[in-house]
Amino acid sequence: MCGRYILVQKKEVIEKRFNVTFDEKADYKPSYNVSPGKLAAVITDDNPLKVQMLRFGLTPFWAKKNMLFINARTEGDNNKENNPTYTGARGIITKPSFRKPIRSQRCLVLADAFIEGTTQEKLSKPFLVYLREKERPFAFAGIWDTWQNPDTKELIQSFAIITTVPNALLQKIPHHRSPVILPRHYEKKWLRQNLPLTDVTAMLEPYPAELMNAYPINSAIKNPQLDSKELIAPIGQRIEKEFEVKTTEKWELSGMGASKRFSYNPDQPFGKKED
């Protein structure tokens, strides 16, 4: 599953990356801990040039009470054992909660990285998973719906992130699911209305593991009330080695003595290097 993720980019960066503008009603705030029930940035198929804020946790339009489907399984009720080599039916197209949105209410869920715990310990042992080469922000494949509260008549727009079988990196955490991350060339296609269903389901594949990496973080991320950069600080080694750690000394004259500084900090999150 994918129940926590990160989006901390400035509005201007998001707008340039996806060639959109923020809706004037969008109250966007960067977050290191986007959690179920919170408003988060998405681009919907019915308004593909605007970023809107929808609730993370989908309630189907027909529901009698408020619900929070944070994820939608590509396989639906199939592949209950979460076999990573599964290539069978896309059961999402027949699930009552998702069969309408997957056909006509798709969205891009904007993110910089996501949090995944181990299958057994869950968020008690979390990892931050990111795309290499500073590929952020990116987009999860999402679906959305509009539900009316029968008591207050309030309209609530909400979304879920589609998940699929784990790629090789997620298996090393280990975790049994992986969110569907759309390559850039699929983003506009995902939002295309009247797209044949076979084209839609063909995009529901795991992201290439070699383009991703992950490192362990503090379990404080479990608390949805917490939201700070410290939550994503590495507390251990990355799953895959990305570079040789080298500390080179640079000497500078200062008066009659000399001072030295290290030019590289291997503890930077997201694999970022310092100049």
CB 212 within 8 A of CB 130: yes
CB 212 within 8 A of CB 136: no
CB 58 within 8 A of CB 79: no
* Phi (first) and psi of residue 199, to 5 degrees: -70, -35
Q: Is 5 helix (H, G, I), strand (E, B) or coil?
A: strand
Q: Is 2 noted as a catalytic residue in this protein?
A: yes
Q: Which of 12, 15, 81, 116 is catalytic?
A: 116
Q: Token digits for 201?
A: 């389901």
Helix, strand, coil share of the chain (percent; to 5): 15, 35, 50
Q: Is 116 noted as a catalytic residue in this protein?
A: yes
CA angle, 101 then 102 then 107, to 5°: 75
Q: Which of 2, 75, 107, 187 is catalytic?
A: 2
CA–CA dist 170, 115 (Å, integer): 11
Question: In degrees to the nearest 10, what's the CA dihedral of 110, 114, 120, 122?
Answer: -90
CA–CA dist 258, 247 (Å, integer): 18
CA–CA dist 53, 14 (Å, integer): 13
Residues labelled catalytic: 2, 116
